[in-house]
Amino acid sequence: MLNVRLVIRFYLVKLLSSSLFRFFLNGGVIGLLSWILQAAFLYLFLTFDFFSEYGPAISVWLAFFIILFLNFFSMKKFVFNKDGSPLKFLISTTLMIFLAGLLTQFITEKIYSYGLDGFVYLSYPVSALLISPLSYVIKKNIVFN
């Protein structure tokens, strides 16, 4: 008789042995924390009319910089299990931050142009998901290689 527990355990161990799976799992946790911070900053900017025109991009950049250190150590210990270059990580993450901010700004403007103001908070996670494959390739082959 097939033991379901053993089968599930086998596949979980197999999944966790994949750096790509761990990258996306780590990214989910880091992304959730970053999204909460970004939404809080955006709420403050829009509520108090600070940087309202560029609030979406600035809120993404602030959230990413706050999460930066936690992300480096979690990738170093959990995702790749290798010493990475903090400088290369900073440079590659800054590039990703810049791209995510621009993409978030673009998506936010599109959301507003269609009158879907309630969906503005989804522009950042969509941007982060779209940039993730590029980020994985850079982190795996350059930062933690």
Residue 16 has pLDDT above 60, yes or no: yes
| Residue 71 near residue 97, CB atoms below 8 Å | no
Of 23 and 61, the structure prediction assigns the larger pLDDT to 23
Say how many C-beta atoms besides its own lie within 10 A of residue 142's C-beta: 14
Which is nearest to 31 in space by CA: 103, 104, 125, 135? 125
Separation of alpha carbons 91 and 94, rounded Å: 5
pLDDT tens, position by position, 71-125: 999 999 999 999 999 999 999 988 988 898 899 999 999 999 999 988 888 898 8
**What kind and span of H or E run contains 115?**
none
Contact 60, 54 (CB under 8 A): no
Confidence of residue 29 (pLDDT cuts 50, 70, 90): very high
63-97 in b/e form (b: 16+ CB < 10 A) is bbeebbeebbebbbeebbeeebeeeebeebbeebb
* pLDDT of amino acid 12: 84
pLDDT, tens digit (0-9, with 9 covering 90-100), for 32-43: 898 899 899 988
Q: Which of 46-50, 66-70, 86-90, 123-127 has the lowest mean pLDDT?
A: 46-50
Q: What is the pLDDT of residue 130?
A: 92
- Give the global pTM: 0.71
Task: Enumerate the domain spans of the chain.
Answer: 18-143
The CA radius of gyration of the chain, in Å to the nearest whole number, is 18
What is the per-residue pLDDT for 144?
95
Per-residue pLDDT band at 1 (split at 50, 70, 90): low
